[in-house]
Structure 1
Amino acid sequence: MAEIIAWVLVPVLYLAALSAYLVVVPALVLLRGLALAAELLWGHVRLLIGVVYRRTPEFRTLPPHRPQDEEVKAYRNYFFGPGFRDLRQMLTLERQAYARTTGDSFRAVTTGQFVAPARHRALTVPYGLTLYLGLCLGAVLAPPALAALLALHGLVLLLLSAGARLVAGTLRAVDRAVLWVRRLRGGMLCPHCFERVPYPAYDCPRTTCRRRHADIRPGTYGLFRRRCACGQGMPTLLMLMSRDARLHAYCVHPHCGKPMNTDAGHMPELVLPLIGGRAAGKTQLMAAMLLALENAASGGGPAFTLADDDSNANYQVLREVLRIRGHTLATQTALPRAHSFVLGTGRSERLVHLFDTAGERFVDRDGTDALRYARDARTFVFVLDPMSVKAFWTSLEPAPGPLLDRTLASTVDPEEVFGRSVQAVAAMDAPLKRSRLAVAISKTDLLAEHGLVPDRLDDSARARAWLSDGLGLRSLVQAMELDFQEVRYFCTAAVADENGQVDASIARFVGWCLRD
């Protein structure tokens, strides 16, 4: 009888307990579903931290990125590629984490409630089925939330990337505007190859690195700062480079690659070519011009600073030659390097390039074609040696006293030099009609000793008349005034006294040449 009662009572009690359990099933299902969803969402947070911040190997499953040449030298800005790569990484890892987490949860319920339960299956099976329902609910609730988070991530990344590109474009436009204000719309002049460089390449400032970065402007590799592969930061704008922190600039043309002036791009540039035949006195005149500027700076005039080591070394030699009243060596026929200096301070600061070219290039068409720097000049200097004119010697009458040393005269006819030079410069599309020409009549210190120059050395009209009537160069004078907008004539004496003071004619000549 007791057994019969047990067989009847136990099922009844079990069914009653099961019925009571069904009341709390929805709550259990909801709690388990929310727990799974919360676990998945927390996993998303951990993935976000791992992919974006920690960047350890377990958060890297995409194929390795193949860096471009410039990426070996600098780190890409996060919003110019790496951000979207991280988003793709998160999508891949999120799918894997979702499948792994839900799968592990179902397997844990199967093992703990069905395969190897700790209690009787009559108790664990209903609870296991409840957990199954909760896991199914969580598996359904989590994807929309995860998708919303990923979509929000993508939207924020897209907006920030668009903002970064807008900032980069604005900074580039501002930088370009500054270059226009500095009259560098065509770029900066390379003192070696004479090509205009839109933007120089710069070396990393760290002495142990020296990676060369081709374009440091705001963009893919940084907005306000570029981070070199060695970790060193670099400014991305010329306006962010202080005078003491300017980077070493290099020409970007593949056939050149030589160093440029560190002041390139930071101030307006002025190109001043010296044209003249062999031994006309160009190098001596250039040395006197530089010394006159240095003397003026020490006397309260515009500041004068040599722009690079090569210019400084050459100038020291030329200044010593002037001091001992010697004669400079003939200029080498190889393409010249500019003698560069910075004149003035503040807003009046300018980078001036003086070009002293071998006279042989002015009578050889192949040589003049290489003088590309002349197309950027708006003021030209034509050095005319009166002793190179045949009429000068034929007009001389025998006179007592020492005669002029004819070996100091240029052997090239000035009309030939001027004609070929103007043709070459015009072929380079230089606007001669809007340019000025300073005619420097050289070696007047020698001629003045014999009374062979006009009385008023500082008078342009007298110098012009002497060239036209005294030396028979009327056709040359007319050609000059026809080809150029403005022509000024100067009698110059490129000499200095024992105190290093240059002849007064040089100061007037330099002042006119460097006038804006």
Structure 2
Amino acid sequence: MAEIITFVLIPAVYLVALGAFIPFVPAIAALRGLALVSQLLARYGTTVFGVLYRRTPEFQTLPPYRPQDEEVKAYRNYFFGPGFRDLRQLLTLARRSYATTVGDAFRAVTSRQFAAPTRSRAVTVPYGVALYLGLCLGAVLAPPLIGLLLILHASVLALLTVGARLVAGILRTVDRAFLAMRRLRTGMLCPHCFERVPYPAYDCPSSTCRRRHMDIRPGRYGIFRRRCECGRRMPTLLMLMSRNSRLQAYCVHPHCGKPMNTDAGHMREVVIPLIGGQAAGKTQLMAAMLLSLEHAAANGGPALTLADEESDANYQVLREVLHMRGHTRATQKALPRAHSFVLGRNRSQRLVHLFDTAGERFVDRDDTDALRYARAARTFVFVLDPMAVKAFWTTMEPAPGPLLDRTLGSTVDPEEVFARSVQAVAAMGAPLDRSRLAVAVSKTDLLTEHGLAPARAGDSDDTRTWLCEVLGLRTLVQAMDLHFREVRFFRTAAVANDEAGVDASVTGFVEWCLRA
């Protein structure tokens, strides 16, 4: 009887129970497969969150982006490399997570249902087989779903990358258009080396960071903002820099690297070189020009602001010299630094560079070749000292009284200065035939005291006739008319007083030079 129960009845009951269990196998397998798919999708979501947001070491399979190039000290924009790097990391981690999760699930079933069951294997094995089927089903169904999510991620990333690069390109185009409107197509003028700078370099605005960024325009290192290696953000466009948040600009040429005007690129630039022989009066005339603009601004004219500390310091010294009716020291032969100022308000602002160059440079051809700033000028000032002309001392009769001090005059012939300087400027590529020339007859205050000045101070034709007929400079005047589109003659007296400001002759001269 016992043998019948053991070998017949129990197997029969087991087979009946197994037969009753079989219809539930699909449901068990489906539920286990669904659980595995849910687990894999949850793991994928955790991986996405870790890769894109947490960025802790366990979610990093590739080294993070760091500024490697010494010239680039900023982090890349997410859509210019890091985004696809994250996608590669996500793909790698998703593959690892899939293999780990599926493997752990199969090992858990094997251990609990086959290797070390807590109940009889007659009960656990069929259940384990059902779980195996479910795991196989989930392992097959999960990859297409995860693949779809990866494809969706890659598609969105690709669209955003195209959009980001398109926006960066549009912003660059808009920035170039703004520069073109300001007549800065070829760049801004460096007041030290006189080269055109397509786009300045800028220092990080952080007071504790000294990193210099060579090209901050929209691109791989930022669209609207660039993030410095120190973490500080900085604008990528000139039009995003307000008056109070403008960054210090620097020349990008390797032989220079000096600071440029803070207003460089934000407004139209005007370059006015003062040409003349040694002691012709260029420096005092330049100081008188600035003083005239300062008085005009105080009386409702265009606002005047010195563009940098060096220009302001030099101007303060020159202004005091003018008020004392003294004589400025000779300009140093070293390459000049522009005296820069901002003229006007709002959209009418202009960044004006006045260049006062040592007279010796206009005699030696090797020296004039260094005056590269003349290429950017469209208005030139030629300072003509009548006392440097021999005919002045031989044909003109001084009025009774103290004789005119010969030591106050220039020792260089104006015709020689003009010929050499025009030749050098033309060789540099300056379009003289489309430029204007203001001829400033200097020291007319001394000439007036001795009755030697032209009759009508503000008349260009009268001054031209005086130069041709009295001083015998007809050849020089004809050469000026030949080389320049427009030539205007002015009598100027670089003197000032506290009541009337500068001499009236300087006011009209300045207005003509700065006329658009």
Letter in 1 for 2:232: Q
Tell me the distance in 1 between the aligned counterparts of 2:504 and 2:354: 20
TM-score for both structures, normalised by structure 1: 0.98
Tell me the distance in 2 between the aligned counterparts of 1:129 and 1:70: 61
Structure 2 vs 1, CA of residues 110 and 72 (structure 1 numbering), >3 Å: closer, same or farther? farther
Tell me the distance in 2 between the aligned counterparts of 1:16 and 1:50: 51
| Corresponding residue number in structure 2 for 1:443 | 443
| Corresponding residue number in structure 2 for 1:490 | 490
Where 1:291 maps in the other structure, the secondary structure is helix
| Corresponding residue number in structure 2 for 1:89 | 89
| Corresponding residue number in structure 1 for 2:55 | 55
Is 1:172 the counterpart of 2:172 in the alignment? yes
State the 1:223 CA deviation.
1.3
Question: Can you list the C-alpha shifts for 1:202-235, whole angstroms capped at 9, x where unaligned?
Answer: 1111211132111111111211112222222211
Where 1:79 maps in the other structure, the secondary structure is helix
Is 1:506 the counterpart of 2:496 in the alignment? no
State the 1:5 CA deviation.
3.1
Where 1:373 maps in the other structure, the secondary structure is helix
Deviates more, 1:278-287 or 1:4-13: 4-13
Deviates more, 1:68-77 or 1:435-444: 68-77
Deviates more, 1:506-515 or 1:63-72: 63-72
Letter in 2 for 1:488: R
Question: Can you list the C-alpha shifts for 1:328-354, whole angstroms capped at 9, x where unaligned?
Answer: 010011110000001111221111000
* Contact 2:67-2:73 within 8 A present in 1 as well: no
| Corresponding residue number in structure 1 for 2:291 | 291
Tell me the distance in 2 between the aligned counterparts of 1:484 and 1:72: 45
* Contact 2:225-2:234 within 8 A present in 1 as well: yes
| Corresponding residue number in structure 2 for 1:406 | 406
| Corresponding residue number in structure 2 for 1:22 | 22
Tell me the distance in 2 between the aligned counterparts of 1:455 and 1:473: 18
Matches within 5 A, 1:100-499: 100-397=100-397, 400-499=400-499
Structure 2 vs 1, CA of residues 205 and 65 (structure 1 numbering), >3 Å: closer, same or farther? closer
State the 1:34 CA deviation.
1.2
* Contact 1:322-1:496 within 8 A present in 2 as well: yes
State the 1:64 CA deviation.
5.3
State the 1:71 CA deviation.
8.4
Letter in 2 for 1:419: A
Tell me the distance in 1 between the aligned counterparts of 2:512 and 2:237: 34
Letter in 1 for 2:101: T
| Corresponding residue number in structure 2 for 1:44 | 44
Letter in 1 for 2:446: L
Tell me the distance in 1 between the aligned counterparts of 2:371 and 2:246: 29
Where 2:317 maps in the other structure, the secondary structure is helix
State the 1:127 CA deviation.
1.2
* Contact 1:362-1:368 within 8 A present in 2 as well: yes
* Contact 1:224-1:235 within 8 A present in 2 as well: yes
State the 1:105 CA deviation.
0.7
Tell me the distance in 1 between the aligned counterparts of 2:485 and 2:439: 13
State the 1:281 CA deviation.
0.3
Where 2:140 maps in the other structure, the secondary structure is helix
| Corresponding residue number in structure 1 for 2:31 | 31
Letter in 2 for 1:254: P
Is 1:99 the counterpart of 2:99 in the alignment? yes
Question: Can you list the C-alpha shifts for 1:310-330, whole angstroms capped at 9, x where unaligned?
Answer: 000000000000010000010
Tell me the distance in 1 between the aligned counterparts of 2:337 and 2:62: 51
Deviates more, 1:482-491 or 1:213-222: 213-222
Tell me the distance in 1 between the aligned counterparts of 2:101 and 2:71: 37
TM-score for both structures, normalised by structure 2: 0.98
Tell me the distance in 1 between the aligned counterparts of 2:32 and 2:62: 33
Where 2:80 maps in the other structure, the secondary structure is coil
Tell me the distance in 2 between the aligned counterparts of 1:143 and 1:500: 88
* Contact 1:201-1:213 within 8 A present in 2 as well: yes
Tell me the distance in 1 between the aligned counterparts of 2:259 and 2:118: 80
Letter in 2 for 1:371: L
Where 2:156 maps in the other structure, the secondary structure is helix
Shift >3 Å, 4+ stretches = 63-67, 396-400
**Unpaired segments ≥5 residues, structure 2:** none
| Corresponding residue number in structure 2 for 1:76 | 76
Letter in 2 for 1:139: A
Letter in 2 for 1:208: T
Deviates more, 1:244-253 or 1:280-289: 244-253
Where 2:487 maps in the other structure, the secondary structure is strand
State the 1:398 CA deviation.
7.1
Number of aligned positions between the proteins:
516
Tell me the distance in 1 between the aligned counterparts of 2:71 and 2:189: 28
